[in-house]
Structure 1
Amino acid sequence: MEGSWRRGIVGALAVTGAALSKLRPAKAGQYPVQGSDDIMAPKSHGSTDRPVQEGLRWNVDWNTADRICSFNRHFAEYAGYWRSTAFLTEANREGETFYDSVTGKPLFEAPKGRTWEQFEKESKSHGWPSFRDEEVNWENVRCLPGGECVSVDGTHLGHNIPDSNGNRYCINLVSVAGKPRLIG
């Protein structure tokens, strides 16, 4: 399986000319905001323009982050990985902003519309940090037709897996452990 995954990535990288994102905005108040598969077109570093940042937050593994963020469309960090990091002891329980591990753009902010305990309980139940519509920064996040959740810059984040409470964005911690992008 590892070999076929690598062959698929090599084949994808052989495609030339990344197209710009063609966005299909949702109707007012309707989520998720949709994007096209063009967002994930091959770029200079897999689906992104560069590798993930050095020194990612919460001591997440750089190699895992780079593989998941830039050379992946379907796979995830293992279930519960986020609990093995420093996240639960270092995150701001009053409101944590989650940044793209490649670009540093803000992608999610939690908790919103619920408590930290509710956010943590739902995330533990599903195995990955789980966000709701109001916690997503829709300026920088899109969902593709198959449910893949990505940044507008091509970082693979996870998937939208709706449940009885609505949209639930099941996100890899390695994809959102970036440091804020410096403006200037």
Structure 2
Amino acid sequence: MSAAQKYPAPAVMGPESIMSKKAHGTSATPVQENLRWKVDQEVADRICNFNRHYAEYSGYFQNVPEFMNQTNDTPADKEITFYDSNTGKPLFYAPRGRTMEQFIKESRNHGWPSFRDDEVEWKNVRLLENGETVSVDGTHLGHNLPDGKGSRYCINLVCVAGNPTN
């Protein structure tokens, strides 16, 4: 089965070369200083730039009070934008097509923030053939672990805690 058959549209497939060695691991630069939600910068840099298979520990996001407070304080008609911890480019928007309660429940059930296809900014995100989910700039984000509802992108909070760069 080809990757395109395994991960149907709208997933945008990317070549393995996205994750080639660059100036700072798989990225051109280290993670930003002062990442959102006070996530650990050292952990973020290691997972984003010097890692292809591992993740922050399961449930990490639940132990980040600033993030959990933001999810609780986000009005029902609003969403949170998640930015690349290296570049500040938008990567995910949640919740989209569901409630914040549904987003958090699914994320808790799987241990990592879990996004669906409609919540992905495909201009900046690619899916590799092995299911690794990465930014177009070489930031390791997490993995696609499809379930009965379709693609489910389990993403490290430390990799999407960047500040927007405008």
TM-score by length of 1: 0.82
> 1:64 maps to what in 2?
43
Q: Which runs of 5+ in 2 are unaligned?
A: none
Residue 25 (structure 1) shift: 9.2
Distance 1:169 1:81 in 2: 16
Count of residue pairs brought into register by the alignment:
157
Superposed CA offset, 1:36-75 (max 9, x none):
1100000000000010000000110000000000000000
Superposed CA offset, 1:87-125 (max 9, x none):
110243520000000000000000001000000000000
> 2:68 maps to what in 1?
88
Distance 1:146 1:25 in 2: 11
Residue 31 (structure 1) shift: 2.7
Counterpart of 2:149 (choices 165, 170, 184) is: 165
Counterpart of 2:33 (choices 42, 47, 54) is: 54
Change (3 A) 1:44 1:25: farther
Counterpart of 1:108 (choices 89, 92, 97) is: 92
Distance 1:60 1:138 in 2: 24
The structure having more radius of gyration, on CA atoms, is 1
Give yes or no for the alignment of 1:140 onto 2:127: no
Distance 2:108 2:165 in 1: 28
Distance 1:30 1:69 in 2: 25
> 1:75 maps to what in 2?
54
Give the root-mean-square deviation of aligned CA atoms.
1.6
Superposed CA offset, 1:139-166 (max 9, x none):
0000001000000000000000000000
> 2:164 maps to what in 1?
180
Residue 181 (structure 1) shift: 1.1
TM-score by length of 2: 0.91
Structure 1 stretches of at least 4 aligned residues deviating more than 4 Å after TM superposition: none
Distance 1:122 1:90 in 2: 17
SS in 2 for 1:146: coil
